[in-house]
Amino acid sequence: MATSPQLDRVIGIMMAIRSKPPADIHEARAVLDQAFGEFKPAPDVTVFEIDAAGVPCQWITAPDVPQDRLIIYLHGGAYAACSPTTHQDLISRLSRASGAAALGVDYRLAPEDPFPAAVDDSVATYNWALGHGFEPSNIVLAGDSAGGGLVLSVLLAARDAGTPLPAAGVCFSPWVDLECSGESMAANDHLDDFIKYGGLSARAESYLGGADPENPLASALFADLRGLPPLLVHVGSTETLLDDSTRLAALAKKAGVDLTLKIWDDMVHVWQVFASILPEGQQSIEETGTFIREKLG
């Protein structure tokens, strides 16, 4: 299927972000904050700060959605950048499409707070929701890139702790192998205008802070996935991270986990962030909304 002409504009935005290598992590964060901050949620969306067991979060909710159904959203940014604010438009569109409230988690970032800080904050937020009247069957975990990896980290940690699991998990372009060993890292390097091996492996090293990259809570590709709830994974065919998704799907199948994988032709890393200007971004969100509605009954 032919991609929309708006994709060229999105690729231009991504190339502009990459064109000036930042001096340090603070500059890198500022560049991404500015680029993604252009995409604001609709005026009818409710956004306010909330403290979830000491973890700062944002309640980001479309109008007239049931407040007893919840998406806990874990943003991407290679564990080093971005926040619920950079992802407000994406999260609000997911809330609208799924008919559920949404909570964006402002987990701690590396290198200041390396692994497992992000996992601990994400798990704490899930446990907070369970302790505040949300039934596990009415919760879906969702995230993109590093946040997609965190979705699986929370599911694995909850399963191993004997905590009731949520209804489902959603991963957009998940990063689940901190060894960055997928064949697509090289095969798609000339196609992916945003994620490159060098930058990603440096972020992995910074996040791990000396921890083993094969720790299942850091890289779900090295985990036993048995017992996890249904998963939905959307990834672009041109991404260097494509093989993280295809290998995750194979691992899930082997473990008897119901994982639905959709590979989108020519889509860039986390194209859903650009839903306000890219039709395929909104289409992915609508399909995800349908999946969430089905899993929340």
Over residues 108-141, the pLDDT tens digits come to 999 999 999 999 999 999 999 999 999 999 999 9
Q: What is the mean pLDDT of the chain?
A: 96
pLDDT tens for 50-86 read 999 999 999 999 999 999 999 999 999 999 999 999 9
In a domain, 2, yes or no: no
pLDDT at site 104:
98
Per-residue confidence band for 193, with pLDDT thresholds at 50, 70 and 90? confident
Residue 177 structural domain: 7-295
Strands 139-144 and 231-236, sheet pairing: unpaired
Handedness of CA 290, 280, 170, 33 (dihedral sign): negative
> What is the domain-level CATH number for residue 280?
3.40.50.1820
pLDDT tens for 194-213 read 999 999 999 999 999 999 99
In a domain, 146, yes or no: yes
Catalytic residue numbers read 145, 239, 269
Minimal CA–CA distance to 177: which of 106, 239, 248? 248
Per-residue confidence band for 19, with pLDDT thresholds at 50, 70 and 90? confident
Number of folded domains in the chain? 1
In a domain, 122, yes or no: yes
In a domain, 1, yes or no: no
Nearest-angstrom CA–CA distance, 279 and 263: 16
